[in-house]
Amino acid sequence: MRKELLEQLRGGLVVSCQAFDYEPFYGAEMMAKMAVSAKLGGAAAIRASWPENIRAIKKEVDLPIFGINKIMPEVYDKFRDVIITPTLTSARAVAEAGADIVAVDCTLRQGRTPEMIQALLQEYKAELDVLIMAEISTAEEGRIAAAGGADILSTTIAGYTPYSRQLDEPDYRLIEELAETTTLPINAEGRFHRPEQVVQAFKTGAWTVTVGSAITRPHCITQEFIRAIHQFKNQEKTGK
């Protein structure tokens, strides 16, 4: 069953449908509509955060769901804080809501040691009847998570820890490094803005590619166009 699910996902596009409460598309109904659009476009699976959104999506869309449960601190620092499904309780809530795969932050931040990460993975695997995807930022974290029993590795957090490569584009090198050191399926995620980048990730060894903001966050898509216009105007001004 789990093997079948992984085979079904191979080569597929996962569309991340997420919005925080300060974004215009926040809310379960909106997320379900995003997921329906993703399915219409041919997505293989949906990534979603929080039990209420997963439940709403499941009512409308019969695709596998990568579930996360973001637990937000009062003031969020994206380089410091571990927010993606950090506790068994948070993981159980998304598994019970219907997630087929539960993704969990496996970075070595906030004093977390390799042993702590592996114990966390073991606990999730023993308690939950779902696949567990380890979200990492470096090859070393990938190795630790693989040895800890993760079913899938994901590059989600590359560029969002102080010690990982800071790039404007996807971290293809990390996909390569993971493909060299493990036989686990690799989900490539983070900063995919164009279709050809997704193709590049598959060429590099990805099993699935997840795209979020470039599909489901219209204000981010608008920003991309504005950035290009600004660049053009600056070039005109400077004559370069």
Ligand X SMILES: CC(=O)N[C@H](C=O)[C@@H](O)[C@H](O)[C@H](O)COP(=O)(O)O
> What does the binding site for ligand X look like in residue numbers (CB under 6 A)?
16, 18, 68, 156-157, 160, 189-192, 210-214
Q: Which is nearer to ligand X, 13 or 121 (CB)?
A: 13
Interatomic CA distance for residues 226 and 33, integer angstroms: 26
Q: Smallest gap, in angstroms, from Cβ of residue 238 to ligand X?
A: 30
Q: Which is nearer to ligand X, 6 or 104 (CB)?
A: 104
Cβ-based neighbours of 134, under 8 Å, separated by 6 or more: 103, 104, 106, 121, 141, 142, 145, 146, 148, 150, 152, 153, 154
The residue number with the shortest CB distance to ligand X is 212
Q: Smallest gap, in angstroms, from Cβ of residue 16 to ligand X?
A: 4
Q: Smallest gap, in angstroms, from Cβ of residue 36 to ligand X?
A: 19
Q: Which is nearer to ligand X, 128 or 167 (CB)?
A: 167
Q: Smallest gap, in angstroms, from Cβ of residue 207 to ligand X?
A: 16
- With CA atoms as reference, report the closest residue to 213 among 19, 78, 40, 10: 19
| C-alpha separations of 98 from 26, 35, 36, 58, 172 in Å | 20, 15, 16, 7, 31
Q: Which is nearer to ligand X, 42 or 239 (CB)?
A: 42
What DSSP character marks residue 26? -
Q: For residue 117, report the phi and psi dihedrals to the nearest 5 degrees.
A: -65, -45
Q: Smallest gap, in angstroms, from Cβ of residue 80 to ligand X?
A: 12
Q: Which is nearer to ligand X, 118 or 164 (CB)?
A: 164
Q: Which is nearer to ligand X, 194 or 235 (CB)?
A: 194
Q: Smallest gap, in angstroms, from Cβ of residue 35 to ligand X?
A: 14
Question: What single string gives the DSSP state of each residue in 92-161?
Answer: HHHHHHT-SEEEEE----TT--HHHHHHHHHHHHHH-SSEEEEE-SSHHHHHHHHHTT-SEEE-TTTTSS
Q: Smallest gap, in angstroms, from Cβ of residue 235 to ligand X?
A: 27
Q: Which is nearer to ligand X, 103 or 117 (CB)?
A: 103
Question: What single string gives the DSSP state of each residue in 173-202?
Answer: HHHHHHHHH--S-EEEES---SHHHHHHHH
